[in-house]
Amino acid sequence: MPDNFTLAHQLAHRTYRAFRPEPLPEATINTLFEVARWTATSSAMQASSILNITDPNLKAQIAQICNQSYVAKAPLLLIFIVDQYRNNAITNDIGHPIETAGLPSRFFQAFTDACITAQNVVNAAESMGLGTCYLGSILNDIPQLVQALKLPQLTFPVVGLMVGLPDQDPGQRPRMDKSLRIFDNTYTVFDDYAQAIADYDVICEAYYRQRDPKIETPTFSGQLVKRLSAANPRRELILDFLRAQGFSLPERADD
Amino acid sequence: MPDNFTLAHQLAHRTYRAFRPEPLPEATINTLFEVARWTATSSAMQASSILNITDPNLKAQIAQICNQSYVAKAPLLLIFIVDQYRNNAITNDIGHPIETAGLPSRFFQAFTDACITAQNVVNAAESMGLGTCYLGSILNDIPQLVQALKLPQLTFPVVGLMVGLPDQDPGQRPRMDKSLRIFDNTYTVFDDYAQAIADYDVICEAYYRQRDPKIETPTFSGQLVKRLSAANPRRELILDFLRAQGFSLPERADD
């Protein structure tokens, strides 16, 4: 299989949640931001932004929203956001207001831009020997986050990211086989997913039991049942929060 | 500034739309898929999948949906999708149906997973000297794409990606300054965006005029007005298409 410096890091990817406390050098942070800036962007519109959370009080508040205390200790804590505010403001301020930056297609373009920027930063960080951890949990309380970060209309939080020098050695969590996730041409539906996932369940069980012999739910399918059963009703209100941020998501197309 | 093999590729990122016609070696494609498999994933749920479009007729149909004829010639054409179908089916087939895989939070988790997987593949491809081009335009006609790719309920197209050996030498399109896109702690609103974007407009004008002396709209702000004015009503129906794919996006939280 082809191999190079980048691939080696990518194939060894793992998530780190504990970091050495020292802040990252300014030059390292600037490099991550340069990489972010050069990320591919839909129609060159650059409709995403990054908030670099340096204020310890704000870090603590975000940790509380995430319900993950380690977030407060992240050496570098970034929040990637949809940003159609800037482009909308540019058209206004140059005297050509357009008023389409809040349409659904614009939201999804910008959401995609924000995500791929985050992953580009992850790859850059890993290439420099740093560890990373995505934080989907910033979406636990969107209105609180919007207020804390002073996010204007036509912006929206997408994902958080912790970056730092690893201070732990987590294993590489197994992944399901390619045959379950990558298909030729059209989507492949399996006859029996219990059977299709059985081998992966065995692999996961061995991995998790080695890490914690007392683990109650070591299989992928068991963990899946648990995760899909966990309810956070506030996270299901995302469309309301999107509308509150000025995105015109119609209730029905013919409204 | 720190530099290494990965960063050098990232900082030189550009989009390629013309590729040498020969197919990519099997080993290269497999490496891209291995990288995809090891991408970070929300709660380890791996709720995204990839369709590898090898059928020339299907490529041609997707090119027509994208309204970009070069898509039909992509040596490697991948479609990244939200996939909650698989996890939902696993819980059903092991006898523990959960029925939450279609909730809004699950859709956005999977959408984020799909995007970061795509960017991980982009970085892998670029590390091997390949060129890439994202295709947001696959969303021009979601129902047609869903039918062509036989996407089941609880799946949804996110973004397309062309990969191949470059057969052109496009310039590196300038990006706006970091100060406009990366902020400390809270969102920075500028007093006057016409002024804030003025320097970048000058940079873009020089770049685009050098590529095409007759270009009509060489500034970023001018292109922005044009792009935000372009309407594709079908792309604004995304919520309807999401509901048609089984995602339970309430019209109002209290419905």
CA dist A222 and A186 (Å) reads: 28
- Give the angle subtended at the CA of A167 by the CAs of A7 and A211, to the nearest 5°: 80
Report pLDDT for B215.
94
- Give the angle subtended at the CA of B44 by the CAs of B40 and B46, to the nearest 5°: 75
Average pLDDT, chain B: 95
**Tokens matching residue B136:** 């947001």
Report pLDDT for A251.
60
Eight-class DSSP state of B187: P
pTM summary value: 0.97
Report pLDDT for A190.
98
**Strands of the A155-164 sheet, one edge to the other:** A131-135, A155-164, A76-83, A48-52, B182-184
Query: Contact, B154 vs A193, CB < 8 A?
Result: no
- The mean pLDDT value for B3-31 works out to 96
Q: Residue B176 burial (CB < 10 Å; 0-12/13-18/19+)? A: buried
Q: Which amino acid is at B208?
A: Y
Task: Work out the pLDDT band at A73, boundaries 50, 70, 90.
Answer: very high
How do residues B217-234 score in pLDDT, each as one tens digit? 999 999 999 999 998 999
B160 chain-A contacts, CB cut-off 8 A: none
How do residues A123-144 score in pLDDT, each as one tens digit? 999 999 999 999 999 999 999 9
- Give the angle subtended at the CA of A7 by the CAs of A4 and A9, to the nearest 5°: 110
Please count the residue pairs, one from chain A and one from chain B, whose beta carbons lie less than 8 angstroms apart. 370
- The mean pLDDT value for B73-83 works out to 98
> A253 pLDDT exceeds 80?
no
Q: Does A116 touch chain B (CB under 8 A)?
A: yes
How do residues B29-66 score in pLDDT, each as one tens digit? 999 999 999 999 999 999 999 999 999 999 999 999 99
Q: How far is A21 from chain B (nearest CA, A)?
A: 19
Residue at token pair 């960063």: B7
Lowest mean pLDDT, pick from A189-193, A246-250, B19-23, B81-85: A246-250
Report pLDDT for A254.
46
- The mean pLDDT value for A217-227 works out to 96
CA dist B251 and B239 (Å) reads: 10
B227 chain-A contacts, CB cut-off 8 A: 43, 45
Q: How far is CA B90 from CA A161, A228, A230, B156, in A?
A: 30, 11, 17, 18
Report pLDDT for A209.
95
Predicted-complex ipTM score: 0.97
Four-CA torsion A229, B45, A206, A199, nearest 10 degrees: 100
The phi, psi pair for B2, rounded to 5°, reads -55, 145
How do residues B93-148 score in pLDDT, each as one tens digit? 999 999 899 999 999 999 999 999 999 999 999 999 999 999 999 999 999 999 99
Q: Does A122 touch chain B (CB under 8 A)?
A: yes
How do residues A88-135 score in pLDDT, each as one tens digit? 999 999 999 998 999 999 999 999 999 999 999 999 999 999 999 999
- B-facing residues of A in 141-170 (CB < 8 A) are 148-152, 155, 158-159
Determine, for residues B127 and A7 on separate chains, whether the beta-carbon distance falls below 8 Å: yes
- Give the angle subtended at the CA of A70 by the CAs of A67 and A75, to the nearest 5°: 130
- The mean pLDDT value for A50-67 works out to 98
Report pLDDT for B248.
87
Q: Does A208 touch chain B (CB under 8 A)?
A: no
Q: Which residues does B9 contact at the CB level (< 8 Å), separation at least 6? A: A6, B123, B126, B127
**What domains, with CATH codes, occur in chain A?**
5-170 (3.40.109.10), 178-229 (no CATH)
